[in-house]
Amino acid sequence: MEKLSNFINGQYVAPSSGRYLDNYEPATGQVYSLIPDSDAHDVEHAVLAAEAAFPVWSTMGIEGRAAILRKLSEGIEANMDAFVAAESKDNGKPLSLAQHVDIPRAVSNFHFFATAIEHFASESHQMEGVGLNYTTRKPIGVVGCISPWNLPLYLFSWKIAPALAAGNCVVAKPSEVTPYTAYMLGKIAKEAGMPDGVLNILHGTGPNVGDAIVKHPKIKAISFTGGTKTGEYIAQTAGPMFKKLSLELGGKNPNIIFADCDFKDALSTTIRSSFANQGQICLCGSRIFIERPIYEQFKEAFVAAMAKNKVSFPTDPEAKMGAVVSKPHMEKILSYIELAKEEGGTILCGGKRKILDGAHAEGYYIEPTIIEGLHYTCRTSFAICVHHLAASKPQVWAAKAAGKPCAFSPKPKTCLSSIDK
C-alpha cells in the first residue's frame, strides 16, 4: 500500500516516529494509502529548515518569488488530470466538482498572489514641514498554515500562496482526512525551483502536529480554518505569544427568501448553496427562511428539485453529490438527523444513509435531507428554524437566524421555516 511522506527541506521524508495513519477513500469506505502520523519532532525539523531558508527567500527579489509561484501554478495546471482525480478520490466529491472548482482555484490562487506581489503599493501621510510617515510591509519569518478537509488543495493553497508571496517560509499542515493533493504539491514546488525549506508540508493529526505548530516559539503567525472551538483554543494559546492570527471559523448561514424574490433564481441559488460539495462548505446555507406567501410553493419546488439530484460515486458523470468525507462525519450527520426528529422536525426528503452497489457499498453516502418544523432554540445545530418572524424588524429575525456560534456544518441537510412580513 502506498505510504505518503512529509515534505521537509525540499525532500520527501518519513515521520520521525515511523507511525502512520490509515487514509480512507470515502467512495468505497476502504483504506487506500497511509499517511505520516507526525509529531513535534517533525515540526521541529520543518521549522529549522524554514528558518534556514528564510534569509534566501525573504531577500530574493519580488520578481524572483513571483516567477517561482507562477511556475508552481503552471505545474499544477500541467498535471490537472492527476490532481483532479486525487482530490475526488481523497475527498469523495464528484470528479466534475474537483475539475471545475477545487483544482482550477488552486491554480488561480498561486497565480493571483504571484502577480499581486508585483503590484504592491504602500501608503504615506505627510506631516507638513515636519516629515513623512509611510507604511512598510515585510516578511515576518516562519508561519504556520493549517487547512481543512472540505476544499483541500483550494484552501491549502489559499493560505500558503500569500504567505510565500510576501517572503515568509511556511510550515503547513493539511487535514489528515484529505492529505493527498498537499502531498503531491511538494513535487511541483521542487520542480518550480522553490528553494529547499521555503515550503514544508507535514501530515498528521491536530493534537500532534497542529498543536505543535501553534505552540512553536519560532513560528510567528498562524492561519487556521476549522471549527470554532479549535479556533478558540488557538487564540488562547497563540495570543500570549503575540503571534499574528488569521482564523476562519464556522458560522450559521441562513438563506432568507422574500415573496418578491425572483423565484427561479432564488430556487436554483438555494439548491447550490445548500448542497454543493455535499453541503460541506462553511458558507453553505444550512437553514432556509421563507416568507409565508410563497412558503408552500417554494418548499414543494425545493423538495422536488432535490429529489432529482443524483447521489453517486465520484466518477459517475451523472453524480450531483458524492460521498461525505469520512465515516465519523457521516455518523455525525445521521445523529443530527435523529436529533431533529426527536425535537419535532419533519423530514421532507432524505434522512437516511444511501447504499450503493458493488465496490461502493461501504461508501459514506447520505441522501440530501430537508427538514421543517424546528424552533430556532432547538439543539439540532446547523439546522435551526424560526417561525413567524416579522420582516419589518430585520434586527430581530436576523439575530435569530444567526443563532449561536458553531463549527463546520455536518451536512448534507437543511431546514425550512416561514417568516411573516
The domain that holds 337 is classified in CATH as 3.40.309.10
Q: What is the pLDDT of residue 387?
A: 35
Domain shared by 205 and 296, yes or no? no
Instruction: Quote the pLDDT of residue 252.
Output: 65
Does one domain contain both 15 and 141?
Answer: yes
**Catalytically annotated residues:** 248, 282
Same domain, residue pair 127 and 262: no
Contact 91, 103 (CB under 8 A): no
**Is the same domain home to 53 and 73?**
yes
Range of the domain at 355: 254-420
Q: Could you tell me if 335 and 234 lie in one domain? A: no
Which pLDDT tens digit goes with each residue over 334-363?
999 999 899 888 999 899 999 999 999 999
Cα separation, 334 vs 270, in Å, equals: 22
Contacts of 349 (CB under 8 A, 6+ apart): 303, 306, 307, 367, 368, 369, 370
In DSSP terms, 418 is beta-bridged to 290
- Secondary structure (DSSP) of 335-394: HHHHHHHHTT-EEEE--SBPP-SGGGTTS--B--EEEE---TTSS-TT-----SEETT-H
- pLDDT reported for residue 383: 41
C-alpha cell, 239: 495570543
User: In this structure, are strands 142-146 and 219-225 parallel, antiparallel, or unpaired?
Assistant: parallel
Q: At which of 230, 248, 266 does a domain end?
A: 248
Q: Do 359 and 387 lie in a common domain?
A: yes
In this structure, the answer to whether residues 208 and 67 fall within a common structural domain is yes
Question: What is the count of structural domains for the chain?
Answer: 2
- Is 38 found in the same domain as 168? yes
Q: In this structure, are 76 and 7 located in the same domain?
A: yes
Residue 10 Ramachandran class (φ > 0 left, ψ -120 to 50 alpha, else beta): left
In the prediction, which pLDDT does 255 show? 85
CA distance 321 to 280: 11
The strand pair at 11-13 and 6-8 is best described as antiparallel
Same-domain status, 99 and 240: yes
Q: What is the CATH number of the domain that holds 112?
A: 3.40.605.10
Res 283: pLDDT: 75
Residue type, 174: P
Q: What is the pLDDT of residue 201?
A: 98
| pLDDT tens digit at each of 421 positions of the chain | 999 999 999 999 999 999 999 999 999 999 999 999 999 999 999 999 999 999 999 999 999 999 999 999 999 999 999 999 999 999 999 999 999 999 999 999 999 999 999 997 778 888 888 899 988 889 999 999 999 999 999 999 999 999 999 999 999 999 999 999 999 999 999 999 999 999 999 999 999 999 999 999 999 999 999 999 999 999 999 999 999 999 998 766 788 889 999 999 999 999 988 888 888 887 777 788 888 899 999 999 999 999 888 999 999 999 999 999 999 999 999 999 999 899 888 999 899 999 999 999 999 999 999 888 887 666 665 443 333 344 445 555 555 555 544 333 445 556 666 555 5
Verify that 178 and 258 share a domain, yes or no.
no
If asked whether residues 38 and 108 sit together in one domain, one would say yes
What pLDDT, on the 0 to 100 scale, is given for residue 399? 56
Tens digit of each residue's pLDDT (9 = 90 or more) over 15-59: 999 999 999 999 999 999 999 999 999 999 999 999 999 999 999
Q: Last residue of a domain, which of 216, 248, 280? A: 248
Enclosing H/E stretch for 23: strand 20-25
